[in-house]
Structure 1
Amino acid sequence: MKVILNVESIVPPVTGIGRYTSEILAGLLARGHGAEVHCFSHFNWVDARRVINASGVSAGGNRVRPFLRSVPYAYDLRCVARNAVFKRSARKFTGAVYHEPNYILKPYDGPCVVNCHDLSFLHFPEHHPAERVRYLDRNLEKSLRRADRIITLSDFVRREVIETFSFDPATVITIPLGVDGSFRPQDEDETRIVMERHGLRHGRYVLSVATIEPRKNLHGLLRAFMRLPASLRKEYPLVLCGAAGWRESKVEQSINELAREGSILRLGYIPEADLPLLYAGAAAFAFPSFYEGFGLPPLEAMASGTPVLASATGSILEVVGDAGLLVDPHDDGAITEGLERILTDGALRRSRIDAGIERAGGFSWTTCVDRTVALYREMVKPHHR
């Protein structure tokens, strides 16, 4: 079974799609498929193990993307050139299954599997760069129709894809993400080194892990947090982790102003090795995103034994269920009330911690990779096409 995997998203700083792609690739290697997996990144074929080893490395900002956004159609032209290279060079892998984790298939004549992580560009176009919305408007439906199978990460997105594009339900498969075993409850001694590195106290901060961009509703979280009693903010500062995304300048300005007061700490992009310890050391985890295709951060927080406050919307509701404290992301007052309850109500905290650990146990990367590999095998059956 030969597999072509696009690994362009596994470039630090790695965000959601990159994490997913990295886990799929690592799972394939662990199952002995290393010689059969061919990784394409931008304009080159790259070594799978080198890609995995580089994925957890911290990196500075990507200078190419801002430049592409500033030049009309530069993004589109780059995609055309990259696709031409892929089409010509992929011919040598005859019979391979091509898995595209990032929405838009490149030109390929063999069996294809594509991920549709969400349809936020349709529901919230104002939350994305204009060139991204334009590109997905022109290409997403064509890409999905060309695929033999479409993978979604939640039933919520699966229903959206089927209803929006009138697809045969049999072609759209939900394969949920998993949570790594490194995300587990850890005591103060285990987290001490990371706490000292970032100037934190175990059990004395509210954590949020998200790319700094409009869809994550960090403005709403900041407003809600600042409505908490001053004594509570002092005891439990808000810690923000995540790479800079799109149109983040206003959020950054607000963060900087509040950081001077001492209530908020911006850590930026965090190496993956530190994340489990930051989750485990937090008093609470806040994730009031407007829209998600899955919601991996709250799942990782639950597995870490940290009580979760999250949005009562779509796939987040599907992932977190009643194990978290769910609120309307458009209601700042509800977010404030939820944060105060989760920080001060001992009985509520204990119940959410126990329920979160139990619920997170139902999500496995092993299952995710096994189901994905089974889908690959289905694609290469002689009668499939």
Structure 2
Amino acid sequence: MNVLYDHQIFSWQKYGGISRYFYELIKRVSVSERVDLYQGFHVNKYGLEKIGDFGKLFSCQKIELPKTGRIYEWINTAGLKCFARKSKAGIYHPTYYNDYCIDGKKLVVTVYDMIHELFPEYFVHDKATIAKKRVILKKADGIIAISEATKNDLVEILGLPPEKIDVVYLANSLRLEVKEKRFFKEPYCLYVGNRGGYKNFLPMLEAFAISKYAKDLKLVAFGGGAFDNKEISAIKHLNLMECVKQISGDDKLLANLYKYAEVFIYPSQYEGFGLPPLEAMYYGTPVICSDTSSIPEVVMDTALQFNPNNIDSMADAFNKILSDDGLRKELAVKGKNREKDFSWDRCAKETIDVYKKVLEG
């Protein structure tokens, strides 16, 4: 089998969830299948050109161009079309939703979530994604959803036939050994990632403020950039200036924060899959999380769940898990076992099965 992948996500993300997914996937698919990888003028730092003997590889990484604008996209598109004509791949798996009208190949598209459709108020400057997604999914010969919840959303929102959609789970890539002492000496709860909109960070702050442990613990927010004015104002209003900290860093620091956290909180209103809970579970960190979308599907009974739209429900979760050492230990053990159910090797194998099914169909 011969599979063609394009440049889209690699030209936008140095690092990121989707580019990580394709890095892990391509690295493994290339072991047993011929891979044609068009990277174009890309910015990613994963070094895909170094991971194996790809059948064909086009990379212009050293040529500097602005990564936005018509000229940049025109050159990338022209290069992809030329590369695709020479490729003998039977499957074309684009890394995002732009439709480049690649002829003569079966089209397989991965859908990561339906956030744009369900929360359009947070994406007023990115309405194009909804339109592009609809166009390419109508044309797709096969669709991969990263959770059953995402598959159900595709059927309900876009009316796509369920038999056209296969669920292939993602996996955790953060598996660094932590040998160093704890970065934060004080006990803390951990939040990871972006904080805007549906991520539900501000309501979570309110829940933390009214919990019994707000004065005994720190709340550490990793990543997502420095707190903005709205967040600072909320932190001051809730009298949490001494309790809430924001920090950024590399995977080594993140692994350290996971390992020594009292609890990891994931209050998002919606996720197509949600990798941070898996990361926390790998390090034996007890998880409290939302009971919506794909999140319960991933954590199952290994986490304490709450209603993300109810401040009291979140506060109760804080109180319950932080007051019960036995519960934290139980969830830590269950979480470590549940995390083992997900692997990138399994993701690659099941994706190859989707490719074969599409070719045979």
Name stretches of at least 5 consecutive residues in structure 2 with no aligned partner.
53-65
Paired position in structure 2 for 1:90: 84
8 Å Cα contact 1:191-1:281 kept in structure 2: no
Which has the higher mean CA deviation after the structures are superposed, 319-328 or 271-280? 271-280
Measure, in 1, the Cα distance between the counterparts of 2:32 and 2:236. Answer: 47
Paired position in structure 2 for 1:61: none
Among residues 278, 281, 286, which one is paired with 1:302 in the alignment?
Answer: 281
Which has the higher mean CA deviation after the structures are superposed, 250-259 or 367-376? 250-259
Secondary structure of the corresponding residue to residue 141 of structure 1: helix
Among residues 86, 107, 113, which one is paired with 1:112 in the alignment?
Answer: 107
Which has the higher mean CA deviation after the structures are superposed, 146-155 or 87-96? 87-96
Distance 1:15 1:218, change over 3 A: farther
Among residues 120, 129, 133, which one is paired with 1:125 in the alignment?
Answer: 120
Secondary structure of the corresponding residue to residue 137 of structure 2: helix
Paired position in structure 1 for 2:221: 240
- Give TM-score scaled by structure 1 length: 0.78
Among residues 211, 230, 237, which one is paired with 2:194 in the alignment?
Answer: 211
8 Å Cα contact 2:2-2:89 kept in structure 1: yes
Measure, in 2, the Cα distance between the counterparts of 1:45 and 1:302. Answer: 27
Which has the higher mean CA deviation after the structures are superposed, 340-349 or 319-328? 340-349
8 Å Cα contact 1:279-1:301 kept in structure 2: yes
Which has the higher mean CA deviation after the structures are superposed, 144-153 or 158-167? 158-167
Distance 1:355 1:45, change over 3 A: closer
* Paired letter, 1:153: I
Within the alignment, does 1:137 sit opposite 2:130 as a pair? Answer: yes
Measure, in 2, the Cα distance between the counterparts of 1:315 and 1:345. Answer: 26
- Give runs of aligned pairs for residues 1-385 of structure 1, distance below 5 A: 1-10=1-10, 14-29=15-30, 31=31, 36-41=35-40, 48-49=48-49, 82-109=76-103, 110-128=105-123, 130-132=124-126, 134-180=127-173, 182=175, 190-192=179-181, 195-196=182-183, 200-201=184-185, 204-229=187-212, 232-244=213-225, 250-251=230-231, 254=234, 261-268=241-248, 270-379=249-358, 381=359, 384=361
8 Å Cα contact 2:289-2:295 kept in structure 1: yes
* Paired letter, 1:5: Y
Distance 1:104 1:51, change over 3 A: farther
Deviations 1:188-210 (A, max 9, x none): xx241xx34xxx138x2111112
Q: What's the CA shift for 1:178?
A: 1.6
Identity of aligned residues (%): 27
8 Å Cα contact 1:327-1:334 kept in structure 2: yes
Distance 1:343 1:36, change over 3 A: same
Distance 1:302 1:23, change over 3 A: same
Q: What's the CA shift for 1:135?
A: 0.5
8 Å Cα contact 2:7-2:42 kept in structure 1: no
8 Å Cα contact 1:309-1:327 kept in structure 2: yes
Measure, in 2, the Cα distance between the counterparts of 1:364 and 1:180. Answer: 9
Q: What's the CA shift for 1:302?
A: 1.6
* Paired letter, 1:201: K
Aligned length: 345
Q: What's the CA shift for 1:234?
A: 4.3
Measure, in 1, the Cα distance between the counterparts of 2:345 and 2:204. Answer: 33
Measure, in 2, the Cα distance between the counterparts of 1:273 and 1:374. Answer: 34
Measure, in 1, the Cα distance between the counterparts of 2:335 and 2:301. Answer: 9
Query: Aligned Cα RMSD in Å?
Result: 3.3
Paired position in structure 1 for 2:58: none
* Paired letter, 2:100: K
Q: What's the CA shift for 1:12?
A: 5.3
Name stretches of at least 5 consecutive residues in structure 1 with no aligned partner.
53-63, 69-73
Measure, in 2, the Cα distance between the counterparts of 1:221 and 1:89. Answer: 48
Secondary structure of the corresponding residue to residue 294 of structure 2: helix
Secondary structure of the corresponding residue to residue 261 of structure 1: coil
Paired position in structure 1 for 2:60: none
* Paired letter, 2:209: M
